[in-house]
Amino acid sequence: MASVILHVDDSPSIRHWVTHVLTKPDVKVISAVDGVDALNILATTEIDLLLSDLEMPQVDGLELATAVRNFPQHKYLPILILSTRKAADFPAKLREAITGWVSKPVDAEDLRRWVNRLLPG
């Protein structure tokens, strides 16, 4: 069974690149355009990893991570943030809700290493 990653980013080019980098026979990437879209997907789809941008319209990465942690079925879901902001600038509430973060720009191999560490099995 393939692992499922939900990737959330308001940039179409970043969504395309991440999908290209991470999709393989045993990994499926689903894209969401913002936090609202991601929450709708999470309500109906089982995922193994949430990979999200931080700065997005409507529901940003902090609001998304906080909302995800409020769902019992997602309490332990790995959440990885991709951001141009440094982790030291993240609010404490975000650092408590996420599993890790990767600074943009990120190269394909670094992103794959992070994802491989966080996916089950």
> Would you kindly state where each structural domain of the chain is located, as residue ranges?
3-118
Mean pLDDT score, 8-12:
96
Mapped onto helix, strand or coil, the DSSP state of residue 49 is: strand
Mean pLDDT score, 41-57:
94
pTM of the model: 0.94
Rounded to an integer, what distance in angstroms lies between the CA atom of residue 29 and that of residue 21? 10
pLDDT band at 106 (very low <50, low <70, confident <90, very high): very high
Query: Does domain 3-118 correspond to CATH entry 3.40.50.2300?
Result: yes
